[in-house]
């Protein structure tokens, strides 16, 4: 068994080296600051704290209560809301908490289709199915990559769901919540926003503000454009007391027991850092996504939504049918040291063989890349997929590019040697 342990450690180290020399373009991934990362291996990892601060079922939680109260205060400050709950342990668990608290089995819930960019938790084989709610699908505008408002208004008036989910995994543009708000009010539907992908952009003031536009509830993961730990969060504004109580009950005891105290503490650090650096980070994240989209378009790639500027978020979508399809292209890029993912595009039927790939700028921005580097990344795409250059050549150039960007930015102590993101943590960078 000792050899098994050595093998696991060696494989994890190999994984770190792989990403140290790669260009990471997964839209749903980011890097945790060492101050936050250090908390993941603290004693908090070994403890339980069921319930709310001051109302625990275990003793010994005085310090946990303090950390969680700080985390809640930071969340309310960053997102300017009156309700926060940091007990969900992931974005999907946060979604389940909303469904548990605010929807009954067999009720209708509005959402987008998977092929239009929705997350799998809103599918019948995901959280929707687990709660036995029935999806009502919005009409979709493929050219604008967003909801078709006039047709969706007709759908909502016809079926009258009580809960309407807005949010995507392929999230290029803000959702037209404000335009749909009068219809939601007309039919008595509650607006719910899944901000997993764009939470950091919202917190940084670079995207829409769903809690001011017509949604009372925002559920999210905390590790994408918000560069925090893999955890979840619930936020709310304008909730009636019973709604807030049911939402909190959906989180606990509904879908969590202990809520992973080490990641909750890391989230508190990440929220504090985002209050300090989030506006600058979010602005550069969007700027980099726009620059990469433009550079790929100029090199002959079919980047979606060109008339609208490709994206207003951290994500771009590229139809790569001419380059071999999403599955083959994502694999070829990975072999060449560029990490992306295949992705459904409107009209696709098979998630295993889609037309597209999805690219995101959160991680390359986190290590300090800017618009100039996006052009260099587009050159690598062009060389591999259009000009027939070998994966070995591209991998070498990708590693050379990445070698100049090895320290985290937009966090306390940014740029110091102790903040090399692939280093072991435990040192105090101050």
Interatomic CA distance for residues 103 and 132, integer angstroms: 10
User: Do 247 and 322 belong together in one domain?
Assistant: no
User: Do 207 and 248 belong together in one domain?
Assistant: yes
Question: Predicted confidence band at 190 (pLDDT cuts at 50, 70, 90)?
Answer: very high
Residue 99, CA distances (Å) to 92, 163, 231 in order: 11, 9, 18
- 24 lies in some domain: no
- Give the pLDDT confidence score for residue 120 in this predicted structure: 86
Q: What is the mean pLDDT of residues 176-183?
A: 97
User: Do 207 and 132 belong together in one domain?
Assistant: yes
Interatomic CA distance for residues 430 and 418, integer angstroms: 9
Q: Above 80 in pLDDT, residue 420? A: no
* Entry pTM: 0.94
pLDDT tens-digit readout, 217-271: 999 999 999 999 999 999 999 999 999 999 999 999 999 999 999 999 999 999 9
Which runs of consecutive H residues, i.e. helices, occur in 261-414?
261-298, 326-335, 362-366, 371-385, 391-402
Q: Parallel, antiparallel, or unpaired for β 315-319 and 356-360?
A: antiparallel
Residues spanned by the domain of 402: 277-419
- 356 lies in some domain: yes
pLDDT tens-digit readout, 284-322: 999 999 999 999 999 999 999 999 999 999 999 999 999
Question: Predicted confidence band at 430 (pLDDT cuts at 50, 70, 90)?
Answer: very low
Asked whether 172 and 311 are in contact (CB, 8 A), the reply is: yes
Which residue would you say has higher pLDDT here, 114 or 74?
74
Domain boundary among 239, 270, 301: 270
- 427 lies in some domain: no
- 231 lies in some domain: yes
- Give the pLDDT confidence score for residue 421 in this predicted structure: 53
What's the number of domains the chain is made of?
A: 2
User: Do 250 and 282 belong together in one domain?
Assistant: no
Interatomic CA distance for residues 184 and 160, integer angstroms: 9
User: Do 232 and 347 belong together in one domain?
Assistant: no
Interatomic CA distance for residues 23 and 399, integer angstroms: 8
Give 369's contacts (C-beta < 8 A, 6+ positions apart): 288, 405
User: Do 290 and 205 belong together in one domain?
Assistant: no
Asked whether 211 and 80 are in contact (CB, 8 A), the reply is: yes
CATH of the domain at 74: 3.40.640.10
User: Do 139 and 251 belong together in one domain?
Assistant: yes
Question: Predicted confidence band at 428 (pLDDT cuts at 50, 70, 90)?
Answer: very low
Asked whether 64 and 44 are in contact (CB, 8 A), the reply is: yes
Question: Predicted confidence band at 349 (pLDDT cuts at 50, 70, 90)?
Answer: confident
CATH of the domain at 282: 3.90.1150.10
User: Do 112 and 165 belong together in one domain?
Assistant: yes
The tokens for 361 are 């700028």
From the CA atom positions of the chain, what is the Rg in Å? 22
pLDDT tens-digit readout, 122-173: 888 888 888 999 999 999 998 899 999 999 999 999 999 999 999 999 999 9
User: Do 266 and 284 belong together in one domain?
Assistant: no
- 101 lies in some domain: yes
Give 33's contacts (C-beta < 8 A, 6+ positions apart): 227, 269, 270, 273, 408, 411, 412, 419
- Give the pLDDT confidence score for residue 390 in this predicted structure: 98
- 317 lies in some domain: yes
- Give the pLDDT confidence score for residue 130 in this predicted structure: 83
Q: What is the mean pLDDT of residues 403-413?
A: 91
Q: Above 80 in pLDDT, residue 209? A: yes
Q: Above 50 in pLDDT, residue 429? A: no
User: Do 301 and 326 belong together in one domain?
Assistant: yes
Domain boundary among 244, 270, 296: 270
Place of tokens 């795409």: 381
Give 214's contacts (C-beta < 8 A, 6+ positions apart): 177, 178, 180, 181, 184, 191
Give 243's contacts (C-beta < 8 A, 6+ positions apart): 101, 102, 190, 216, 236
Question: Predicted confidence band at 367 (pLDDT cuts at 50, 70, 90)?
Answer: very high
Asked whether 329 and 341 are in contact (CB, 8 A), the reply is: no
User: Do 336 and 263 belong together in one domain?
Assistant: no
- 398 lies in some domain: yes
Asked whether 289 and 206 are in contact (CB, 8 A), the reply is: no
- 160 lies in some domain: yes
Domain boundary among 213, 247, 270: 270
- Give the pLDDT confidence score for residue 143 in this predicted structure: 87
pLDDT tens-digit readout, 315-324: 999 999 999 9
Q: What is the mean pLDDT of residues 202-220?
A: 98
User: Do 122 and 243 belong together in one domain?
Assistant: yes
Q: Above 80 in pLDDT, residue 422? A: no
- CA 310, distance to chain mean position in Å, is 19
Q: Above 90 in pLDDT, residue 423? A: no
């Amino acid at each position: 068994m000792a050899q098994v342990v050595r093998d696991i450690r060696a494989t994890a180290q190999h994984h770190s080296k792989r990403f140290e020399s790669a260009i990471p373009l997964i839209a749903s991934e980011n890097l945790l600051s060492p101050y936050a990362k250090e908390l993941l291996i603290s004693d908090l990892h070994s403890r339980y704290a069921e319930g709310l601060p001051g109302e625990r079922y275990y003793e010994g939680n005085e310090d946990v209560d303090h950390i969680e109260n700080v985390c809640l205060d930071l969340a309310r400050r960053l997102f300017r809301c009156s309700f926060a709950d940091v007990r969900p342990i992931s974005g999907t668990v946060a979604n389940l908490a909303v469904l548990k608290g605010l929807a009954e089995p067999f009720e209708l819930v509005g959402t987008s289709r998977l092929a239009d960019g929705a997350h799998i938790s809103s599918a019948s084989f995901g959280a929707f199915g687990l709660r036995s709610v029935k999806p009502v699908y919005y009409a979709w505008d493929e050219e604008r990559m967003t909801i078709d408002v006039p047709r969706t208004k007709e759908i909502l008036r016809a079926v009258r769901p009580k809960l309407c989910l807005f949010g995507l995994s392929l999230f290029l543009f803000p959702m037209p919540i404000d335009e749909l708000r009068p219809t939601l009010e007309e039919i008595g539907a509650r607006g719910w926003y899944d901000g997993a992908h764009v939470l950091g952009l919202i917190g940084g003031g670079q995207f829409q503000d769903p809690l001011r536009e017509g949604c009372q509830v925002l559920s999210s993961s905390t590790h994408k454009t918000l560069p925090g730990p893999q955890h979840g969060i619930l936020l709310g504004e304008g909730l009636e007391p019973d709604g807030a109580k049911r939402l909190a009950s959906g989180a606990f005891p509904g879908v969590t027991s202990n809520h992973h105290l080490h990641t909750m503490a890391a989230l508190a650090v990440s929220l504090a850092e985002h209050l300090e650096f989030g506006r600058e980070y979010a602005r550069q994240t969007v700027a980099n996504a726009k620059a990469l989209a433009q550079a790929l378009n100029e090199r002959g790639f079919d980047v979606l939504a060109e008339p609208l500027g490709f994206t207003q978020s951290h994500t771009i979508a590229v139809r790569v049918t001419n380059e071999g399809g999403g599955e083959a292209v994502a694999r070829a890029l990975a072999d060449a040291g560029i990490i992306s993912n295949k992705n459904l595009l409107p009209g696709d039927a098979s998630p295993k063989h889609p037309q597209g790939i999805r690219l995101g700028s959160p991680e390359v921005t986190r290590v300090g890349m800017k618009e100039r580097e996006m052009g260099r990344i587009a050159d690598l795409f062009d060389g591999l997929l259009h000009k027939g250059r070998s994966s070995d050549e591209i991998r070498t150039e990708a590693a050379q590019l990445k070698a100049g960007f090895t320290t985290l930015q937009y966090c306390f102590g940014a740029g110091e040697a102790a903040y090399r993101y692939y280093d072991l943590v435990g040192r105090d960078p101050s």
